[in-house]
Structure 1
Amino acid sequence: MIGLAGLAFAGPALAAEGQAHRDYILRCAGCHGMEGLGSVEGGIPTFPGSVGKIAADDMGRTYMMHVPGVISASLDDAGIASVMNYILDRWSPGEAAPFTPDEVTRRRAVPVADVVVMRRDVAKKLMSEGTQIADYPWP
Protein backbone atom coordinates (compact mmCIF):
# COMPACT_ATOMS: atom_id res chain seq x y z
CA MET A 1 0.00 0.00 0.00
CA ILE A 2 1.29 3.49 -0.90
CA GLY A 3 1.24 5.96 1.99
CA LEU A 4 0.48 9.66 1.63
CA ALA A 5 4.17 10.46 1.18
CA GLY A 6 4.36 7.93 -1.65
CA LEU A 7 1.32 9.45 -3.35
CA ALA A 8 2.83 12.92 -3.10
CA PHE A 9 6.04 11.63 -4.68
CA ALA A 10 4.21 9.74 -7.45
CA GLY A 11 1.65 12.49 -8.04
CA PRO A 12 3.20 14.30 -11.04
CA ALA A 13 4.01 11.04 -12.84
CA LEU A 14 0.51 9.69 -12.26
CA ALA A 15 -1.02 12.99 -13.34
CA ALA A 16 1.03 13.01 -16.57
CA GLU A 17 0.03 9.42 -17.32
CA GLY A 18 -3.60 10.30 -16.66
CA GLN A 19 -3.40 13.27 -19.03
CA ALA A 20 -1.81 11.13 -21.74
CA HIS A 21 -4.61 8.58 -21.30
CA ARG A 22 -7.25 11.33 -21.58
CA ASP A 23 -5.52 12.78 -24.64
CA TYR A 24 -5.44 9.30 -26.22
CA ILE A 25 -9.19 8.93 -25.66
CA LEU A 26 -9.96 12.39 -27.05
CA ARG A 27 -7.55 12.42 -29.98
CA CYS A 28 -6.71 8.83 -30.95
CA ALA A 29 -9.42 6.41 -29.84
CA GLY A 30 -11.89 7.67 -32.44
CA CYS A 31 -9.83 5.91 -35.11
CA HIS A 32 -7.68 3.39 -33.22
CA GLY A 33 -10.29 2.46 -30.61
CA MET A 34 -9.76 1.95 -26.90
CA GLU A 35 -7.86 -1.27 -27.57
CA GLY A 36 -5.66 0.18 -30.31
CA LEU A 37 -7.07 -2.17 -32.93
CA GLY A 38 -7.76 0.34 -35.70
CA SER A 39 -10.04 -0.55 -38.58
CA VAL A 40 -9.24 -2.40 -41.79
CA GLU A 41 -12.27 -0.78 -43.47
CA GLY A 42 -11.12 2.68 -42.36
CA GLY A 43 -7.48 2.09 -43.28
CA ILE A 44 -6.39 2.51 -39.66
CA PRO A 45 -3.57 0.14 -38.67
CA THR A 46 -3.59 -1.70 -35.36
CA PHE A 47 -1.14 -0.84 -32.55
CA PRO A 48 -0.56 -4.22 -30.84
CA GLY A 49 2.40 -6.04 -32.34
CA SER A 50 3.19 -3.16 -34.66
CA VAL A 51 3.59 0.32 -33.18
CA GLY A 52 6.72 -0.53 -31.20
CA LYS A 53 8.38 -2.03 -34.26
CA ILE A 54 7.67 1.14 -36.23
CA ALA A 55 8.90 3.33 -33.36
CA ALA A 56 12.12 1.29 -33.14
CA ASP A 57 13.02 2.40 -36.68
CA ASP A 58 14.38 5.88 -37.43
CA MET A 59 12.20 6.44 -40.50
CA GLY A 60 9.27 4.90 -38.64
CA ARG A 61 9.61 7.44 -35.84
CA THR A 62 9.48 10.29 -38.36
CA TYR A 63 6.46 8.69 -40.06
CA MET A 64 4.65 8.50 -36.71
CA MET A 65 5.01 12.26 -36.27
CA HIS A 66 3.24 12.84 -39.60
CA VAL A 67 0.20 10.58 -39.38
CA PRO A 68 -3.00 12.63 -39.73
CA GLY A 69 -4.07 12.13 -36.11
CA VAL A 70 -0.75 13.43 -34.81
CA ILE A 71 -0.68 16.38 -37.19
CA SER A 72 -4.20 17.42 -36.22
CA ALA A 73 -4.01 16.53 -32.51
CA SER A 74 -3.84 20.18 -31.34
CA LEU A 75 -1.25 19.22 -28.73
CA ASP A 76 2.12 20.82 -28.17
CA ASP A 77 5.21 18.70 -28.77
CA ALA A 78 5.43 17.67 -25.11
CA GLY A 79 1.80 16.52 -25.25
CA ILE A 80 2.44 14.54 -28.43
CA ALA A 81 5.50 12.90 -26.86
CA SER A 82 3.41 12.02 -23.82
CA VAL A 83 0.61 10.42 -25.86
CA MET A 84 3.05 8.55 -28.10
CA ASN A 85 4.81 7.20 -25.01
CA TYR A 86 1.46 6.17 -23.53
CA ILE A 87 0.75 4.24 -26.75
CA LEU A 88 4.18 2.61 -26.72
CA ASP A 89 3.91 1.71 -23.02
CA ARG A 90 0.44 0.25 -23.49
CA TRP A 91 0.90 -1.74 -26.70
CA SER A 92 4.66 -2.30 -27.07
CA PRO A 93 6.36 -1.92 -23.69
CA GLY A 94 10.14 -1.86 -23.96
CA GLU A 95 10.20 -2.23 -27.76
CA ALA A 96 11.27 1.32 -28.59
CA ALA A 97 12.81 4.32 -26.90
CA PRO A 98 10.37 6.90 -25.57
CA PHE A 99 9.80 10.10 -27.52
CA THR A 100 11.05 13.38 -26.11
CA PRO A 101 9.47 16.75 -26.85
CA ASP A 102 12.69 17.83 -28.64
CA GLU A 103 12.56 14.74 -30.86
CA VAL A 104 8.91 15.42 -31.69
CA THR A 105 9.82 19.00 -32.68
CA ARG A 106 12.69 17.81 -34.86
CA ARG A 107 10.77 15.02 -36.58
CA ARG A 108 7.69 17.15 -37.21
CA ALA A 109 9.93 19.65 -39.03
CA VAL A 110 11.00 16.99 -41.56
CA PRO A 111 9.01 17.53 -44.79
CA VAL A 112 6.85 14.54 -45.73
CA ALA A 113 5.16 14.83 -49.11
CA ASP A 114 2.87 11.80 -48.76
CA VAL A 115 2.42 9.98 -45.44
CA VAL A 116 0.80 6.96 -47.14
CA VAL A 117 3.87 6.49 -49.36
CA MET A 118 6.10 6.93 -46.32
CA ARG A 119 4.13 4.24 -44.43
CA ARG A 120 4.64 1.87 -47.35
CA ASP A 121 8.38 2.68 -47.38
CA VAL A 122 8.64 2.00 -43.64
CA ALA A 123 6.75 -1.29 -44.02
CA LYS A 124 8.92 -2.36 -46.96
CA LYS A 125 12.12 -1.55 -45.05
CA LEU A 126 10.99 -3.42 -41.95
CA MET A 127 9.82 -6.40 -44.00
CA SER A 128 13.22 -6.54 -45.74
CA GLU A 129 14.74 -6.80 -42.24
CA GLY A 130 12.35 -9.62 -41.32
CA THR A 131 10.01 -7.47 -39.23
CA GLN A 132 6.29 -7.80 -39.89
CA ILE A 133 3.91 -4.95 -38.99
CA ALA A 134 0.15 -4.48 -39.25
CA ASP A 135 -1.44 -4.35 -42.68
CA TYR A 136 -2.18 -0.96 -44.14
CA PRO A 137 -5.00 -1.38 -46.65
CA TRP A 138 -4.78 2.03 -48.30
CA PRO A 139 -3.97 1.98 -52.02
Structure 2
Amino acid sequence: MRKILMAAALTIAAGGPLGAQEMSPRATFVLHCAGCHRMDGQGSLPGGIPAFPDSVGHIANTDEGRTYIMHVPGVLGASLTDAEIAEVVNYILETWSDGAPRFDEAEVTRRRAIPVPDVVRKRREIVAELAEQGIPLSTYPWP
Protein backbone atom coordinates (compact mmCIF):
# COMPACT_ATOMS: atom_id res chain seq x y z
CA MET A 1 0.00 0.00 0.00
CA ARG A 2 2.83 2.38 0.89
CA LYS A 3 4.44 1.89 -2.55
CA ILE A 4 1.13 2.64 -4.25
CA LEU A 5 0.73 5.87 -2.26
CA MET A 6 4.31 6.93 -3.07
CA ALA A 7 3.77 6.27 -6.77
CA ALA A 8 0.55 8.28 -6.66
CA ALA A 9 2.28 11.19 -4.93
CA LEU A 10 5.06 11.18 -7.51
CA THR A 11 2.50 11.02 -10.31
CA ILE A 12 0.68 14.05 -8.90
CA ALA A 13 3.94 15.98 -8.38
CA ALA A 14 4.93 15.27 -11.97
CA GLY A 15 1.55 16.36 -13.27
CA GLY A 16 0.60 12.99 -14.73
CA PRO A 17 1.84 9.44 -15.21
CA LEU A 18 5.56 9.13 -14.54
CA GLY A 19 7.54 9.38 -17.74
CA ALA A 20 4.60 10.80 -19.66
CA GLN A 21 5.78 14.37 -19.26
CA GLU A 22 8.54 16.30 -17.59
CA MET A 23 8.15 17.46 -14.01
CA SER A 24 7.72 21.14 -13.33
CA PRO A 25 10.81 22.91 -11.97
CA ARG A 26 8.98 23.30 -8.65
CA ALA A 27 8.30 19.55 -8.46
CA THR A 28 11.97 18.91 -9.27
CA PHE A 29 12.92 21.29 -6.45
CA VAL A 30 10.63 19.47 -4.03
CA LEU A 31 12.05 16.06 -4.96
CA HIS A 32 15.74 16.97 -5.32
CA CYS A 33 16.46 20.12 -3.28
CA ALA A 34 13.91 20.72 -0.53
CA GLY A 35 15.11 17.78 1.55
CA CYS A 36 18.23 19.77 2.40
CA HIS A 37 17.37 23.40 1.58
CA ARG A 38 13.79 23.04 2.91
CA MET A 39 10.68 24.29 1.16
CA ASP A 40 11.38 27.83 2.35
CA GLY A 41 14.97 27.80 1.04
CA GLN A 42 16.38 28.41 4.53
CA GLY A 43 18.67 25.37 4.58
CA SER A 44 19.97 24.06 7.89
CA LEU A 45 22.86 25.66 9.72
CA PRO A 46 23.41 22.61 11.98
CA GLY A 47 23.12 20.38 8.90
CA GLY A 48 25.67 22.40 6.94
CA ILE A 49 23.18 23.57 4.31
CA PRO A 50 23.28 27.29 3.43
CA ALA A 51 20.13 29.35 2.94
CA PHE A 52 19.12 30.65 -0.49
CA PRO A 53 17.69 34.08 0.48
CA ASP A 54 20.26 36.86 0.43
CA SER A 55 22.85 34.54 -1.12
CA VAL A 56 22.03 32.50 -4.20
CA GLY A 57 21.29 35.53 -6.37
CA HIS A 58 24.52 37.28 -5.41
CA ILE A 59 26.47 34.10 -6.10
CA ALA A 60 24.74 33.61 -9.47
CA ASN A 61 25.64 37.17 -10.45
CA THR A 62 29.36 36.27 -10.58
CA ASP A 63 31.13 34.14 -13.17
CA GLU A 64 32.86 31.98 -10.54
CA GLY A 65 29.62 31.75 -8.58
CA ARG A 66 27.78 30.33 -11.56
CA THR A 67 30.41 27.63 -11.89
CA TYR A 68 30.25 26.97 -8.14
CA ILE A 69 26.48 26.47 -8.27
CA MET A 70 26.94 23.73 -10.87
CA HIS A 71 29.29 21.90 -8.48
CA VAL A 72 27.40 21.96 -5.19
CA PRO A 73 26.80 18.38 -4.04
CA GLY A 74 23.05 18.40 -4.71
CA VAL A 75 23.55 19.56 -8.29
CA LEU A 76 26.59 17.41 -8.94
CA GLY A 77 24.91 14.26 -7.65
CA ALA A 78 21.45 14.88 -9.07
CA SER A 79 20.17 12.38 -11.59
CA LEU A 80 18.90 15.23 -13.77
CA THR A 81 19.71 16.29 -17.31
CA ASP A 82 21.51 19.58 -17.85
CA ALA A 83 18.23 21.05 -19.11
CA GLU A 84 16.44 19.95 -15.93
CA ILE A 85 19.24 21.39 -13.79
CA ALA A 86 18.93 24.72 -15.61
CA GLU A 87 15.17 24.72 -15.00
CA VAL A 88 15.37 23.93 -11.28
CA VAL A 89 18.22 26.39 -10.66
CA ASN A 90 16.22 29.04 -12.52
CA TYR A 91 13.24 28.23 -10.27
CA ILE A 92 15.50 28.73 -7.23
CA LEU A 93 16.81 32.02 -8.61
CA GLU A 94 13.31 33.25 -9.47
CA THR A 95 12.12 32.36 -5.97
CA TRP A 96 15.07 33.55 -3.84
CA SER A 97 16.96 36.22 -5.78
CA ASP A 98 16.41 39.61 -7.34
CA GLY A 99 16.97 39.19 -11.05
CA ALA A 100 20.03 36.95 -11.30
CA PRO A 101 20.65 35.83 -14.90
CA ARG A 102 18.98 32.59 -15.93
CA PHE A 103 20.89 29.43 -16.81
CA ASP A 104 20.34 27.52 -20.03
CA GLU A 105 21.26 23.94 -20.83
CA ALA A 106 24.43 24.89 -22.74
CA GLU A 107 25.76 26.95 -19.82
CA VAL A 108 25.05 24.13 -17.37
CA THR A 109 26.90 21.67 -19.61
CA ARG A 110 29.85 24.03 -20.00
CA ARG A 111 30.14 24.90 -16.30
CA ARG A 112 29.77 21.31 -15.12
CA ALA A 113 32.79 20.43 -17.28
CA ILE A 114 34.99 22.96 -15.43
CA PRO A 115 36.93 21.18 -12.67
CA VAL A 116 36.16 22.36 -9.13
CA PRO A 117 38.23 20.10 -6.89
CA ASP A 118 37.13 21.72 -3.59
CA VAL A 119 33.62 23.19 -3.59
CA VAL A 120 33.95 24.47 -0.01
CA ARG A 121 37.11 26.39 -0.88
CA LYS A 122 35.42 27.74 -4.02
CA ARG A 123 32.51 29.06 -1.94
CA ARG A 124 34.89 30.70 0.53
CA GLU A 125 36.64 32.48 -2.35
CA ILE A 126 33.34 33.72 -3.77
CA VAL A 127 32.15 34.87 -0.33
CA ALA A 128 35.40 36.77 0.21
CA GLU A 129 35.13 38.44 -3.22
CA LEU A 130 31.53 39.48 -2.57
CA ALA A 131 32.38 40.69 0.96
CA GLU A 132 35.07 42.95 -0.53
CA GLN A 133 32.28 44.46 -2.66
CA GLY A 134 30.15 44.99 0.45
CA ILE A 135 27.79 42.10 -0.34
CA PRO A 136 27.35 39.82 2.68
CA LEU A 137 25.87 36.35 2.19
CA SER A 138 23.86 34.14 4.49
CA THR A 139 25.83 32.20 7.07
CA TYR A 140 27.80 29.30 5.69
CA PRO A 141 28.24 26.52 8.24
CA TRP A 142 31.42 24.89 6.95
CA PRO A 143 34.69 25.96 8.58
CA-CA distance at 1:56 after TM superposition = 0.4
Distance 1:39 1:54 in 2: 18
TM-score by length of 1: 0.85
Count the aligned residue pairs. Answer: 123
Q: Does 1:39 align with 2:48?
A: no
Q: Deviation above 2 Å: which 4+ runs of structure 1?
A: none
Match of 1:109 among 104, 113, 117: 113
Distance 1:135 1:84 in 2: 20
CA-CA distance at 1:93 after TM superposition = 3.6
Q: Does 1:51 align with 2:52?
A: no
Q: Which runs of 5+ in 2 are unaligned?
A: 1-20
Partner of 1:90: 95
CA-CA distance at 1:69 after TM superposition = 0.2
Partner of 2:126: 122
Aligned residue identity for 1:53? H
Distance 1:67 1:35 in 2: 19
CA-CA distance at 1:138 after TM superposition = 0.7
Distance 2:110 2:139 in 1: 27
Aligned residue identity for 1:114? D
Aligned residue identity for 1:74? S
Partner of 1:138: 142
CA-CA distance at 1:44 after TM superposition = 0.6
Distance 1:119 1:73 in 2: 19
Partner of 2:26: 21
Q: Which runs of 5+ in 1 are unaligned?
A: 1-14
Distance 2:43 2:52 in 1: 7
CA-CA distance at 1:32 after TM superposition = 0.2
